[in-house]
Amino acid sequence: MRYKTKQFAILITIFFSVSAINFGFVFSTLTSNSHTQQIKLINDLKTSTVYNSNVVIDDTNPVIDWATAKAAGICTGSGTEVDPYIIRDHVFNGFLNIKHSRKHFSVLNCEFTDTVYGMWILNVSNGLIEDNHVSNALFGFDIMNCSHIEFRNNNCSLLGNTGILAQTSNDLSFYSNILSNKLIDGIRLNILENCIFEGNTADDNGNSGIKLDNIEDTLIYKNSVAYNGANGIELTNSDNITIVDNEAFNNIVNGIRVFSSDNNRLESNNFHHNGGDGLRVLSGSQLNVLKGNMASFNNLSGIAFYVNSDDNLIYDNTASNNEQHGFYISDSDTNLITMNSANDNTLNGFQLFLSNRNSITSNTANNNVNGTNLISSDDNIILGNNLANNIYCYNETNSAGNVYEENICQTPAAPGVPFDPFILGLILGLVIGFGSLAAVLILNSLRGRKE
């Protein structure tokens, strides 16, 4: 009994000793980290303030600069790269105007409504605009003379004019924004360079989904542009633009329209079910490269060139099941059209009109009215194409000096099945054997009659 009592006393002593050690450790930790815990609680605190008038931050005016905005509770942070000013979780029943600033800043998860602009950004650099919603306004974001600003995951819908309007700026990035249901354009850009537009959705706008004018050295990548009142993507007076992996469908006019623009690369895009052409290039657009695009089920042609669009390279594209032509070249010269497919179009695989000195080589055009059809077009080369299974292989009207060589106009006959010599020998052996047997039987029958 005394032994059990002693054992119980030892256990009680150990329990209280361990508890004391743990309590001291926890107390010490809380004391040493009290400042850190306080900072964490402050950073985790989300304030949501409603502003019923316009908010202006002008870093050249001490009365309304970033420091003043911070003191008023509009933002937190210090404006450095590691600790940017942050405007978060506010509701603006008016616009937010940031101007003349080089401080680092972020605008996150804010609501803008009942205003002309969601945000008006003028002469500003080093910003992140993310997860904001703009509604019941004319413009979502109006950007002028800015650089190094990223716009990500913003929703600008049901606006009276344009979702994003950007002018005279450089090094802007737009990722995964929704720009739909505007009276005019989803995105309208003028005089920009070195910009990126990736993964944006610009649908159901009154004019075009993405409209670019006087743009240089910019990437348009993996955007969706559909059900717009004019063109999905519209490119005007713009050079060195890379347009890759975009989908443009069910637009009233064209999937993509390229006007007076040179040295652009359009690759691996999908243009389908548009009211005009899948891809329309016109008005002196030259030295462009079209590669690996799909253009199908469009109301006119899959890919079309108009009016002095010369010296372009068009290769490895597919233009099929269009209501007119697979490829249509009008009043455009010296283009190289090679390794493309143009099948199952209502009219022609390749149609040239008033176009001279083009090369149509190594293409496939099947199940059209004409494989190639030339009207008032001279000195073109049609070489090495597969033009089988069309109503007419090729045709031309009022044209001269065109060269047709090595084209396939009929499906080659299926080669005969090679005859195995062993089978032939077996058949001959059987014939001789059965013949000999028949002769023996006949002779035996005749002898039996004589006897």
In a domain, 335, yes or no: yes
Phi-psi region of 291 (alpha: psi -120 to 50; beta: other; left: phi over 0): beta
In a domain, 360, yes or no: yes
153-172: b (≥16 Cβ within 10 Å) or e: ebbbbebebbbbbbbebbeb
**Closest among 161, 220, 219, 170 to 190, alpha carbons compared:** 170
In a domain, 401, yes or no: yes
| Calculated CA dihedral for residues 375, 376, 378, 381, nearest 10 degrees | -10
Cβ burial, residue 441 (10 Å; 0-12/13-18/19+): exposed
DSSP state of 408: B
**What does the pLDDT read at residue 183?**
85
**Closest among 271, 275, 270, 235 to 253, alpha carbons compared:** 275
Handedness of CA 252, 253, 254, 256 (dihedral sign): negative
Contact between residue 278 and residue 319 where contact means Cβ atoms under 8 Å apart: yes
In a domain, 315, yes or no: yes
Tell me the C-alpha distance between 138 and 430, whole Å: 93
In a domain, 287, yes or no: yes
In a domain, 361, yes or no: yes
Report the number of distinct structural domains present in the chain: 1
**Closest among 362, 321, 328, 359 to 343, alpha carbons compared:** 321
**What does the pLDDT read at residue 445?**
59
Contact between residue 255 and residue 248 where contact means Cβ atoms under 8 Å apart: yes
In a domain, 442, yes or no: no
Tokens linked to 221: 């990548």
Provide the domain limits for residue 284: 279-412
- pLDDT tens for the 451 residues of the chain, in order: 444 444 444 444 444 443 433 434 333 333 334 333 333 322 333 447 999 999 999 999 999 999 999 999 999 999 999 999 999 999 999 999 999 999 999 999 999 998 999 999 999 999 999 999 999 999 999 999 999 999 999 999 888 999 999 999 999 999 999 999 888 999 999 999 999 999 999 999 999 999 999 999 999 999 999 999 999 999 999 999 999 999 999 999 999 999 999 999 999 999 999 999 999 999 999 999 999 999 999 999 999 999 999 999 999 999 999 999 999 999 999 999 999 999 999 999 999 999 999 999 999 999 999 999 999 999 999 999 999 999 999 999 999 999 999 999 986 544 444 545 555 555 655 556 555 555 555 555 555 554 4
In a domain, 292, yes or no: yes
Q: Is 74 helix (H, G, I), strand (E, B) or coil?
A: coil
**What does the pLDDT read at residue 447?**
57
- pLDDT tens across 37-86, in order? 333 322 333 447 999 999 999 999 999 999 999 999 999 999 999 999 99
Contact between residue 374 and residue 354 where contact means Cβ atoms under 8 Å apart: no
